[in-house]
Amino acid sequence: MNPLPPDTLHAPAPGNALLRNLNPEQLAAVTLPNRHALILAGAGSGKTRVLTTRIAWLIQTGQISPAGVMAVTFTNKAAKEMLTRLATILPIPVRGMWIGTFHGLCNRFLRAHWKLAALPQSFQILDSQDQLSAVRRVIKAMNLDEERFVPKQVTWFIAGSKEEGLRPRDVTVRDEQTRTLVDIYQAYEDQCQREGVVDFAELMLRTYELMRDQPALREHYQRRFGHLLVDEFQDTNRLQYAWLKMFAGQSNCVFAVGDDDQSIYAFRGAQVGNMSDFEREFHVEHVIKLERNYRSYGNILDSANELIAHNRKRLGKNLRTEAGPGEPVRVYEATSDYAEAQWLLEEAQQLHREGTPRSEIAILYRSNAQSRVLESALFNAGIPYRVYGGLRFFERAEIKHALAYLRLLENPNDDTSYLRVVNFPTRGIGARTIEQLQDAARASGRSLYQSTGAVTGKGGANLAAFNALLDAMRDATRGLTLREIIEHVLEASALTDFYRNEKEGRERLENLDELVNAAEAFVTQEGFGKDAVALPIDEQAGAIAEGDPPAVARADITPDVETGEIVSPLAAFLTHAALEAGDNQAQAGQDAIQMMTVHAAKGLEFDCVFITGLEEGLCPHENSLSDYEGLEEERRLMYVAITRARKRLYLSHSQTRMLHGQTRYNIKSRFFDELPEGALKWITPKVQGFGSGFARDPRAAWAQAPSHGSSFGTAKKIEPKVATSDGVALRVGQSVFHTKFGEGVIVTLEGSGADARAQINFGRHGLKWLALSVAKLTPVD
């Protein structure tokens, strides 16, 4: 790549505005010489800034042209942020640059090389819902038992295999079950290929394979991208790492930014080990740690640091700040989840009165189920809140229906879409008719749309009418704008009529309107070609600095799409809808308290953060305690949560909690013991219930009998069962000490005399049944 004399590489132009205000580590990272680099970027250390400034610096110093840079992120949000920031510092159009999500870039790649990839030009992308129903169809077609082959698990198997880079024939088969799973995988692949659709993992895998198997293509792209930058590197899976190596080749520079302490996605295939693998395999000489934190006060960072120091497998990092200690981290113990919610909303109201905008208050929890109590408390108090998670815009049923019709305009052989709407709204096409149709299609190896002739009788006539409807819609929308197309389809399909007559259809109608708006916005503002248009690749490659070999116009590497050819706005919009599920569209615009899982909070920051439900079994979650790695990931989760807070952090836990319709007695999370006592301030809880409001030592409070807990709200009255052990009276909710399992809380008491037994929640040792005649239990108070 247009090599400059090595000594000029380091020298930032004096007074270069770009590099002003960077701290020494950031500056070092941004101006690293052209070699592989690993940047360990702690939370709040200016990671995005380093990434964007690095790109700008490479371009500004003439080391690379914009077309020679590829930057990969995981989320659309991160990609967008990078593009926006870059646009403000670089006087060039950033739109055509290869900056995007892994999947977005793969999509771009496959659109350009659809022929080589053996895909139809207008291939569609299955989201996870579509994938699930596609898998379900395969299982049905193979006459397999859905009990033994649970569609969701099969989906995981397929995605998991692909993310390991394994095609059906590559999967090691050890048992009969796996054999069949592989058969399903193969049948699913055939079905997708037949229907011209790809799932998310397929985007990655097919791109990888194309690069691997097409030398000319590989050389072309390896020559083009001199610099590869990766965000959130700790979240990459095996396939993504292999994919990256494929683009890196022998000579291109990889600039990987990540934080092993924030690796919280192992459960979906992320390999933190990729970081050390990268360091070793790429002979990384430059590992730069960004430890200076610009977000939080000292007490918050001390808590984060001390907690995470309990993890053994770390690359090692310590956050520091010059902002001073700030306020202590407040710890609250509630008697019940309900009480926790009450306290929290009062505290939040107080913060708001003192001037904190609601949008700067975040409530975090480990699992979604915990949001309900909190939500109802806020709702009843009339406090605006916004819950992240749940269905996103393009995932809503009515939107999926509309999109299915639109997809059928592009490709009537898309059976997934066909099945979704063939009888929605109902047009007299029942299960039996559809079964006949599927049989016919299977027998002839054709699509459902192509097989309607094979179905006789009334059902067949209705199917023919449906096909005619699709054809008519296609004719009527030819040449229309995207907005007009969608409006026509919504009417002609009778979707709007259906929801107009529906009792609860108003919101759905509004969403359909919103779909039209989204399309309009997509066409005008974004420039619809962003994802789906094949970029003039060779032209861009030719723009790489001189000395680069000229872009070769060989047939095997020329993009299949003519340079600059524009895919229809509709096709582009459909791709956009699949790749970007949209916002969760909670009450946007309003100043509302932000509620989300800890996972969802990664990458965000707030002035005030409440981390709730910090109890053994919830955080760390009981399902993750079986192995040590699981516990470490839970700790990282807690670490991520803590480092979201700028000014004020609250930690809370509760003695009792409604879960799965049962009251559970929990002990406080072990993570409390891993925080620096000096940074914490235990708020003495006021015991509610009998109206006395007396105070007591918070550390002892959790050990109290829960009869209080059940007396003031949601929880049902708990029968005060009493049993004895060594003459000591025990009751449900009682805290006890066991020599082997430590402290626990009695959850259930059963039987009497010699048969008496107790179910005890020992937190980190789990839930145990103990015979009271045997077990030595000491009451704790």
Partner DNA sequence: TGCGCACACTTTTTT
Partner DNA sequence: AGTGTGCGCA
For DNA, the closer of residues 77 and 738 by Cβ is 77
The answer to whether residue 660 forms part of the interface with DNA (CB under 7 A) is yes
Distance CA(705)–CA(733), nearest Å, equals: 5
- Residue 231 designated active-site: yes
State how far Cα 767 lies from the chain centre.
Answer: 31
- What lies within 8 Å, CB to CB, of 172 at 6+ separation is 178
- Residue 48 designated active-site: yes
Stretch in the footprint of DNA (CB under 7 A) among 21-29, 35-43, 429-437, 678-686 = 429-437
Stretch in the footprint of DNA (CB under 7 A) among 173-181, 292-300, 331-339, 658-666 = 658-666
Binding mask 368-397 for DNA (x = CB under 7 A): xx--x----------------x--------
Looking at 33, 215, 428, 693, which residue binds DNA (CB under 7 A)? 428
CB of 286 closer than 8 Å to CB of 32: yes
The answer to whether residue 543 forms part of the interface with DNA (CB under 7 A) is no
User: C-alpha angle 85/91/94, rounded to 5°?
Assistant: 55
The answer to whether residue 431 forms part of the interface with DNA (CB under 7 A) is yes
47 marked among binding-site residues: yes
Q: If we measure between CA atoms, which residue out of 231, 226, 246, 234 comes closest to residue 106?
A: 246
For DNA, the closer of residues 128 and 711 by Cβ is 128
- What lies within 8 Å, CB to CB, of 207 at 6+ separation is 106, 109, 110, 117, 243
Per the residue annotation, which of 25, 26, 47, 295 is the catalytic one?
A: 47
Q: If we measure between CA atoms, which residue out of 698, 770, 780 comes closest to residue 735?
A: 780
46 marked among binding-site residues: yes
Q: How far is the CB of 641 from DNA (least distance, A)?
A: 12
41 marked among binding-site residues: yes
- Residue 262 designated active-site: yes
45 marked among binding-site residues: yes
Stretch in the footprint of DNA (CB under 7 A) among 59-67, 413-421, 618-626, 717-725 = 618-626
The answer to whether residue 398 forms part of the interface with DNA (CB under 7 A) is no
Stretch in the footprint of DNA (CB under 7 A) among 60-68, 439-447, 487-495, 657-665 = 657-665
CB of 498 closer than 8 Å to CB of 425: yes
Tokens representing 208? 């990888």
Q: If we measure between CA atoms, which residue out of 721, 717, 738, 742 comes closest to residue 730?
A: 721
Distance CA(671)–CA(614), nearest Å, equals: 8
For DNA, the closer of residues 363 and 596 by Cβ is 596
Burial status of residue 315 (CB atoms within 10 A of its CB: 0-12, 13-18, 19 or more): middle
Stretch in the footprint of DNA (CB under 7 A) among 242-250, 344-352, 428-436, 643-651 = 428-436
The answer to whether residue 84 forms part of the interface with DNA (CB under 7 A) is no
Helix (H, G, I), strand (E, B) or coil at 653: strand
CB of 522 closer than 8 Å to CB of 573: yes
Burial status of residue 655 (CB atoms within 10 A of its CB: 0-12, 13-18, 19 or more): buried
The answer to whether residue 202 forms part of the interface with DNA (CB under 7 A) is no
H or E element that contains 101: strand 98-101
Helix (H, G, I), strand (E, B) or coil at 779: strand
Stretch in the footprint of DNA (CB under 7 A) among 49-57, 276-284, 424-432, 534-542 = 424-432
For DNA, the closer of residues 646 and 657 by Cβ is 657
Tokens representing 116? 């080589």
DSSP state of 358: G
Count the Cβ atoms, other than its own, within 10 Å of residue 755. 11
For DNA, the closer of residues 239 and 705 by Cβ is 239
Stretch in the footprint of DNA (CB under 7 A) among 178-186, 259-267, 355-363, 689-697 = 259-267
Q: If we measure between CA atoms, which residue out of 47, 82, 72, 52 comes closest to residue 289?
A: 47
Burial status of residue 310 (CB atoms within 10 A of its CB: 0-12, 13-18, 19 or more): middle
Looking at 143, 172, 250, 426, which residue binds DNA (CB under 7 A)? 426
Looking at 600, 604, 756, 780, which residue binds DNA (CB under 7 A)? 600
HSE of 604, CA atoms in CB hemisphere, 13 A: 23
- Residue 47 designated active-site: yes
Question: What are the backbone dihedrals phi and psi of residue 10, each rounded to the nearest 5 degrees, phi first?
Answer: -75, -30
The answer to whether residue 267 forms part of the interface with DNA (CB under 7 A) is yes
Tokens representing 548? 């680069």
Q: How far is the CB of 690 from DNA (least distance, A)?
A: 24
The answer to whether residue 367 forms part of the interface with DNA (CB under 7 A) is yes
Count the Cβ atoms, other than its own, within 10 Å of residue 563. 13
Q: How far is the CB of 173 from DNA (least distance, A)?
A: 25
709 marked among binding-site residues: no
β-pairing verdict for 680-683 and 722-725: unpaired
- Residue 721 designated active-site: no
The answer to whether residue 581 forms part of the interface with DNA (CB under 7 A) is yes
For DNA, the closer of residues 353 and 503 by Cβ is 503
- Residue 169 designated active-site: no
Looking at 26, 52, 101, 735, which residue binds DNA (CB under 7 A)? 101
What's the distance, Cα to Cα, between the start and end of the chain in Å? 71
Count the Cβ atoms, other than its own, within 10 Å of residue 92. 14
Q: How far is the CB of 607 from DNA (least distance, A)?
A: 22
User: Which residues 686-745 are close enough to bind DNA by CB under 7 A?
Assistant: none
The answer to whether residue 411 forms part of the interface with DNA (CB under 7 A) is no
Per the residue annotation, which of 195, 199, 202, 231 is the catalytic one?
A: 231
User: Which residues 43-82 are close enough to bind DNA by CB under 7 A?
Assistant: 74-77
CB of 526 closer than 8 Å to CB of 575: no
Per the residue annotation, which of 366, 407, 644, 648 is the catalytic one?
A: 644
Residues at the site binding DNA, with contacts judged by CB under 7 A: 74-77, 101, 103-104, 127-128, 136, 146, 200-201, 264-265, 267-268, 366-369, 372, 389, 423, 426, 428-433, 579-581, 596-597, 599-600, 621, 623-624, 658, 660-661
Binding-site entries for ATP = 41-48
Catalytically annotated residues: 47-48, 231-232, 262, 644
Binding-site entries = 41-48
